[in-house]
Structure 1
Amino acid sequence: MTLGLEKTVTKNDALRAGWVLPKSKRDPHGMIVGQGSFKYRVDAHWGRVDRAKIPVENCHGLAIDSKGRVVMMTDEPRNNIVIYSRDGKVLDTFSTHMPGGHSVKIVNENGEDFMYLVDSGWIRNRLWDGHSTEAWDSPFNRVVAQSGFIAKLDMAGRLIFSIGHPQTYGAYRPDQPFRPTDIAISDKGDMYVTDGYGSDYLLQYDSQGRYIRHWGGHDNIDANYNLSNTHGIGIDKRTNTPELIVSSRGAQCLKRFTLSGEYLGTIDANGAYIGGPIFKGEHFYAPVCWSHIDGKNQDDSGFISVFDKDNRVVANIGGTPPEYVNGVLQPMQTTWDVFNHCHGLCVDDDGNLYVGQWNANQSYPMKLERL
């Protein structure tokens, strides 16, 4: 890879120097990425459209409906939902009035698809000072936080119900922030919501949105129940007893719980600030937003991890090959040449991946074609 200057920079050069290549210099289109039986050809142009007609800020969530369409959730209120055909043609767009649009899950209920959407509470600031972009506690930063919410809609975008701040039903104190990040729906319709930008609890609701319980947070006597920036969640149905797999992104791991909240175990993701699982057959995929390098989460260092039926990493797409020494996963990190920050992810029936990114120069989703 090059910096556009006379010097050629290898991955090791970049890691040693702490360099991050400019986004404008990256064009992974046509590259082959991954390891072993998980190799893909990158189609970086798959989701590109006219920015003037269909703008995006961050491509936060992706899901596939029963018709095989790829549904993308963005935090651009003019078109929170963008629906693609499998060949990358836009079929529909509409607003759901979610300035913090963050996650989408699609469930077929009695033959009809429904969208479950999550707004994380982050909004563009109308009082922005014009230059602050990471002053998160400033009232003049480019984005500021408010309370988020969850909503169930039909596929035409009509609202069925919404769920707001847990203080309204006594589960949170008024001073506890609620900024949810992801949702999973069980076979009986229970909803499990990660409050990853708020108070780091995992909340359970029934199919009608009625509160059941919550657990997690930061200050449990048993630290196994603690969650840190719990960013994603999925229901693991690979065995006869379904369980939850929940990201504790700040702790570089995923945690396993029963559907009623009992801790079952931790899945190491050493070096990876990892999101929630997307299941396909005996494996699951998880987006990684940052690699842990030089003691911090480095910008533009995302990749995708693939886990087997034993919850061991078997491939890192856009990352270094996984290695276990005496059963211990060694630190994983980016190869610097494909992604910025992996966030939204879905997989089709042919094993192709569709990837959306946060903070990636307003890029559209790309397709990774399984080889």
Structure 2
Amino acid sequence: MKRRTFIRQSSVTIAASGGFGFNLLGRAKKEEIVGHGDYQYRIIRDWAQISSVQNPILNCHEMVMDRQGRLIMMGDHPANNILIFDKSGKLLDYWGTAYPGGHGLTLSAEGEEDFLFLTDSGWFLDKHGKWVRHNGRVSKTTLDGRVIFDIGHPQTVGVYKPGDHFCPTETAIGPNGDIYVADGYGMDYIIQYNARGEYIRHWGGHNNHDKNYNLHNAHGVAIDYRDAENPLVVCTSRNEQSFKFFTLDGQYVRTLHLPNMQVCRPVFDDSNLYAGVCWSQPKEGKTTWKDHTGFITILEGDTVVSNPGGTAPAYKDGALQKSYQLAEKPILHGHDVCVDEDKNLYICQWNANGTPPLKLERVNG
């Protein structure tokens, strides 16, 4: 029997039995199934096998999978910035204490070797629990943390003025090795460098004559290779609840608006786009940025087909309607999504009470 056929039949059995499993003591426990249509998942909360004493977590920010199938997580706890898991959740390695604002993590496959691009956003919690700003940092490293080079403050190449804050949140690597840095907590620019870290151009920011170029909380950036002949740079404009698409040299192409979803970086897998929704607003009342209001969204092309942890996507006259977090809050803040070859998801959450990543095991499709 094929794996997905087995999973599909198993999910029917779970649904028929009320969605209950059993813990080690034999007591029934209700399984958490989230998502919609062909994209439904079983939440596995205890996937990560780590010690909260030896490997404490503050925030899980991002995760990538290398060609060996290892899951590499970036966080901002001063004791360990990088945690490396196998797909069973076993901790294989950990390193890094030099990135107190550890935020963005991008994998760059170069020939037979993988490299990491790490971004330190420049924000971290001090020992008194207060947010402190320092200089942001972008580093290219080996998988075991050896630094190849750093990209410095854009003021050093005349892009920023004295006093402009550089708080990078993400990087993306273009088809020719160009590096795109999203200054999502600073000036909201996308800054393009060549593979050696030499400045080429920048765009975005605020107050452009053509408002399509404005980015408001340029939190994420990725390369969309779904059209192999025409790869695009996709930038998050989180406060606009949008992704904006640009050519590789920064020319505006189009905007994809996702009502009520303050999305993080886009993650592409086959023809799909996945994204963490860090915040949304409830149907009634208002929330603060500290409140748990997130979920995950999944698109086939430009169409939202599932919102794990959120309400089902709905379209009216071709227009996407607002989506909302489920009342039981199965996902607190969606910050990043990593997809494995079986289409299971690994969810990093910001502001989730120090919890490790969740695994969302696909139960159909």
TM-score using structure 2 length: 0.88
Match of 1:138 in 2: none
The 3-state SS of whatever aligns with 2:215 is coil
Equivalents in 2 of 1:113, 1:190: separation in Å? 16
Q: What is the Cα deviation at residue 125 of structure 1?
A: 2.6
- Structure 2: give runs of 5+ residues left out of the alignment: 1-28
Question: 2: distance between equivalents of 1:50 and 1:166?
Answer: 39
- Determine helix, strand or coil for the equivalent of 2:281: strand
Number of aligned pairs?
Answer: 330
Kindly provide the CA deviation profile for residues 128-166 of structure 1, in whole angstroms up to 9, marking residues without a partner as x: 3xxxx6xxxxxxxx1111220100000111000001210
Moved more, 345-354 or 41-50: 41-50
1:328 counterpart residue number: 319
What RMSD over aligned residues (CA atoms) do the two structures have, in Å?
A: 1.4
Other structure's SS at 2:177 match: coil
List structure 1 runs of 4+ shifted beyond 4 angstroms.
Answer: 295-298
Other-structure match for 1:313: 304
Aligned positions of 1:352-367 closer than 5 A: 352-367=344-359
Deviation at 1:29, TM superposition (A): 8.0
Mapped contact 1:323–1:329 kept (Cα < 8 A): yes
Deviation readout 1:235-273 (Å, 9 max, x if unpaired): 111112000111100111111111110111110110011
Give the match for residue 186 of structure 2. 198
1:349 counterpart (315, 320, 341)? 341
Displacement after TM superposition at 1:48 (Å):
4.3
Amino acid at match of 2:209: I
**Alpha-carbon distance between aligned partners in 1 of 2:116 and 2:53, rounded to the nearest angstrom:** 26
Measured in 2, the distance between the counterparts of 1:93 and 1:77 equals 12
Aligned counterpart in structure 2 of residue 181 of structure 1, from 169, 179, 191: 169
Q: Deviations over 1:159-211 (max 9, x none)?
A: 00001210011011112111011111012110111111001111101000001
- Does residue 145 of structure 2 align to residue 153 of structure 1? no
Are the aligned partners of 1:291 and 1:297 in contact in 2 as well (CA < 8 Å)?
Answer: no
SS at match of 1:193: strand
Deviation at residue 295 of structure 1 after TM alignment: 4.9
- Aligned counterparts, 1:284-323, within 5 A: 284-293=273-282, 294-295=285-286, 299-309=291-301, 311-323=302-314
| 8 Å CA contact retained: 1:273, 1:292 | no
Residue 55 (structure 1) aligns with: 56
Question: Is contact 1:29-1:43 (8 Å) kept?
Answer: no
For residue 341 of structure 1, report the CA deviation from its aligned partner. Answer: 0.9
Deviations 1:266-302 (A, max 9, x none): 1011001111111111111010001123355662111
Separation in 1, partners of 2:125, 2:304: 37
Q: Partner of 1:121 in structure 2?
A: 122
Please say if residues 166 and 178 of structure 1, whose CA atoms lie closer than 8 Å, have aligned partners that are also in contact: yes
Residues 288-335 of structure 1: CA deviation (Å, up to 9, x unaligned)? 0011233556621111111112x1211111111111111211111111
Q: Identity of aligned pairs, percent?
A: 45
Distance 1:295 1:215 in 2: 33
**Is the Cα contact below 8 Å between 1:248 and 1:254 reproduced in 2?**
yes
Q: Hey, what does 2:100 align to over in structure 1? A: 99
Q: Using the TM superposition, name which of 293-302 and 270-279 deviates more.
A: 293-302
5+ long unaligned stretches in structure 1: 1-27, 134-141
Task: Give, in whole Å, the separation in 2 of the partners of 1:296 and 1:207.
Answer: 42
Q: Deviations 1:75-134 (Å, cap 9, x if unpaired)?
A: 0122110000000000000115100000111122110111110100012235x3xxxx6x
- Residue 231 (structure 2) pairs with residue 242 (structure 1): yes
